[in-house]
Amino acid sequence: MAEKNLEASIEKFLRMIRETLNCVTDQVILAHQDSEHLYRLFFRAPARLDATNGDRFYILVNQSFTVVQDSNGLCRVHSREYSYILSDAPSPATKGIVSYHWHPHESALRDPHLHLHITQNMGYPEIERKIARAHYPTSRVCLEDFLLLLIKYYDINPITPDSVWKRVLKKNKQLFEQDATWFVGHRE
């Protein structure tokens, strides 16, 4: 995703993220420049998703990134942190059902991790509390893999035909992998 100038690099990255998200939602992700070198992508409110059985879910996506010029003079986008949350509630304050986080600059826990939240009706309240508090270690997770998880295992209805969302997620993950400075696992 390297480009000759900063603006082109940012625009290409935004197009890719928006195209990826448009597989499951028509809500537009916003971009904001927080400082001279730091940018942030976010939904103003959780984006509604529909499951095949009629259930409603919501996602919140936040990602911070910088643009760095490499030794060849090309500008490359580098992720700095992310939060991908699947929730059954439309509140932006929700902890979600499944949350992938990587925030290496703002807490003692600098590694990527997963949060799971279950309903408190299993009959094991102590275990339920432990599950909710745990930070399950993961590798870094790209947005395309998060959406694929939602489609495959949470029965989220893509809003584009199968041939389109499958092609978009595969293509954009491959583009992301080309410049990733960390290993991106493969899922089919």
For residue 118, give Cα distances in angstroms to 87, 89, 123, 128: 11, 13, 12, 7
Asked whether residue 1 is domain-assigned, the answer is no
pLDDT for residue 69 is more than 90: no
User: Is 95 within 8 Å of 84 (Cβ atoms)?
Assistant: no
Note the pLDDT of residue 113. 92
Asked whether residue 187 is domain-assigned, the answer is no
Note the pLDDT of residue 156. 98
**Residue 161: in which H helix or E strand, if any?**
none
User: What domain range includes position 128?
Assistant: 6-179
pTM as predicted: 0.88
Specify the higher pLDDT residue, 179 or 166: 166
Total count of domains within the chain: 1
Asked whether residue 146 is domain-assigned, the answer is yes
Confidence of residue 10 (pLDDT cuts 50, 70, 90): very high
Asked whether residue 61 is domain-assigned, the answer is yes
Asked whether residue 188 is domain-assigned, the answer is no
